Structure 1
């Protein structure tokens, strides 16, 4: 090795070893394209390694549709636990003999004549093509209010949370009631903790609708909706980052009704606005936020599913969901954390994209690469696994294979004389 480090030449470099990176590797291998998958972690599993200990998939196992190795176990309708998801990805990589190099984080990506230079420590990868497969959850988003809390309060993002037993004794404030925040609040409550939950503007969804799991309807619309003229329309650009519906795969899967958590002992608040030492202050629109959570499914996904059922001629039973709970929690806008015995705050406030290491002018005002179905505006640079890259399924197992197949077809076209 010289003082300037080593240079490794590779035709196509895939940055990220989660499901989208491994799906891309599968199709590259099928096409006979020399490539390497690099990942900053010390083992495969992607962002699933950052989920808490008892995390389960929110969509059933039948949605695990990695190309060449869809889930073929006996529990199609169950919800795989985190460690088994990680094992599934490792097994998939081994079955495909994926060329993976771990503990290789890319710190800078730049263009060069005829390709790219990707820097990782003392190694520089020189590649003709680059696939960005770092996923939708690279950088935890933590509000400025976090800096206003007393240092005596332990703070952590949901990305770091693992189990109730690792938190300090006492009550917990969970900020954000999206999919992760609502599930973590439930878990803490079951563990006997006093839980205070700041409610985000996210919508709840039923676990089952018209005789099927929600995931089944989502899968059918994704796979067959276009055939009958029913498709999920893409959101405006900012809407690509909207939270996932409040739902859980725990205990065989269930809905989460925020309003019903209150009489069980979980204290609800609206959006956290400011903090001062051990005092947290919230907006006064909790009632409106609960109504939003309870009504958005009927305004969006229910209409989509009903249209698909009608267009496809499916004999589905009627909607048999129980009526909404009528409990009205008290509106509280200020909380003394010390008086409430709160020893920790969990920020379930989502993530931001982070392509700060990509030294190319390809990103829009939201930090999202400008692209056409994953083919970015810079020749030879591709993206997979991002929310709404081509469809609602792009960032989950269901959509990884198709999106990866499309960009690999483009890579093959670039490679032909």
Structure 2
């Protein structure tokens, strides 16, 4: 691996990104004898996991830490990796497969040529017959445009840049968004004794374990084996709309051995809950006035989206699983809150925007993207010959962007790529 400047080099295939998608692709390219290089903009391996906060744990259990040629073989399959252990896993995997990575090499332009592609980087220009886009789903932190209307006296961070409570000034914190990052960062702040306000989105709550297994066990099984039993709901062609590729994941955490993040429980612990962030009016954040209904919808999400699916799969596959647990109703009710939040009056000195990421393929010098900036493709084979994509959410199925899901997609793409000769 190197970070040396290259004025111009030729290779058969360039892989853009050395995260899980890029490394899985490299593994399969080696198996097929395809000469290639991986271009990674970061100075060190570890992918987007390096952008997580200090107390972060992987949300999926160890049994799903499964990249091509390296299935999990440890003694704690139901445990969860820390941030540092996750980064270490990727660095070890890259070493094991001898991934040909060029670090500190940001791709700035990909232009089609008669022979394939010219790929411009901060370290020079490459020529390649094929290019695989493997930069993942965590590309550009997304912050609402209305954030510019908030006083500069209030520190604003995206979850991408949050590391620990000590990085924030004294005072209360507003966390916007209740995806997995928002829920877990809220818990991190609570554990540090901070006062937290939380703007609630619509990401569903879910049990960490269901019918005797971690919930991700059933997600994996339905993704991989569901079609064998006619259960195809987690395949991409079953999405009601292409926008469904960006739906948020269940509110779960790997911290403390793994648990569900429950919004009412956070409220019981003192978190001030608010509706969805709507904008800023004269410096004051404004939220929807529908918190009770929003909490009910969040709690109903698992039953509507996953429970029936898991039960149908268990029945169809004839799996001997315990009966479904009955969740005890939580009677806690949020205090009524105004739709406007006086940051100064509430002592709020920081805002953490847990509002997700946007795809960024602005380096592509060809018309390939749909209205969601998602490459037009079929199973990772884009509409432009020689250009491929791996590791995006719902590339072929629900788990395409996960460690256990990226390998099969990378294998299919490299099969197609190798067949081009």
TM-score bucket of the superposed structures, by smaller chain: over 0.9
Deviation digits for residues 239-285 of structure 1, max 9, x if unmatched?
Answer: 11111111111000001110121121000000112224652221101
Cα distance in 1 for partners of 2:301, 2:97 equals: 41
The match for 2:3 is none
Q: Stretches of 4+ moved more than 6 A in 1?
A: none
Q: Is the 8 A contact 1:269 1:331 kept in 2?
A: no
Tell me which of 333, 338, 342 is aligned to 1:336. Answer: 342
- Aligned to 1:334, the other structure's residue is in SS state coil
Paired residue for 1:242, among 214, 223, 247? 247
Q: Which stretches in structure 2 are left out of the alignment for 5+ residues?
A: 1-5
User: How do 1:285-364 residues align onto structure 2 when only pairs under 5 Å count?
Assistant: 285-332=290-337, 333-364=339-370
Deviation at 1:221, TM superposition (A): 1.4
The question of whether the paired residues in 1 share the 8 Å contact of 2:105 and 2:123 is answered with: no
Q: Secondary structure at the match of 1:48?
A: helix
2:63, 2:78 within 8 Å by CA — same for their partners in 1?
yes
Once residues 273 and 249 of structure 2 are traced to their aligned partners in structure 1, the CA distance between those partners, rounded to angstroms, is 20
What are the equivalent positions in structure 2 for 1:3-402 lying under 5 Å apart?
A: 6-231=7-232, 232-234=234-236, 235=239, 236-276=241-281, 279-332=284-337, 333-402=339-408
1:121 Cα offset (Å)? 2.3
Give deviations 1:101-134, integer Å, cap 9, x for gaps: 1000001111011200110125101000000001
Task: Calculate the aligned-residue CA RMSD, in Å.
Answer: 1.1
Report the secondary structure of 2:34's partner residue.
coil
| Partners of 1:278 and 1:338 within 8 A in 2 | no
| Contact 1:202 1:292 survives alignment (8 Å) | no
Q: Residue deviations 1:146-177, cap 9 Å, x none?
A: 10100000000000001111111111000001
Please tell me whether the aligned partners of residues 15 and 106 of structure 1 are also in contact (alpha carbons under 8 angstroms): yes
Paired residues of 1:150 and 1:276 also in contact (CA < 8 A): no
- Is the contact made by 2:178 and 2:200 (CA closer than 8 Å) also made in structure 1? yes
C-alpha separation in 1, matches of 2:137 and 2:123: 27
- What TM-score comes out, normalization by structure 2 length? 0.96
SS across alignment from 2:160: coil
- Helix, strand or coil for the counterpart of 2:67? coil
The superposition leaves residues 16-62 of structure 1 with CA deviations (integer Å, 9 ceiling, x where unpaired) of: 00001000000001111100001000111111111111111111000
1:140·1:159 contact (CA, 8 Å) conserved in 2? Answer: yes
Instruction: Provide the C-alpha distance between the structure 2 equivalents of 1:324 and 1:281, rounded to a whole number of angstroms.
Output: 30
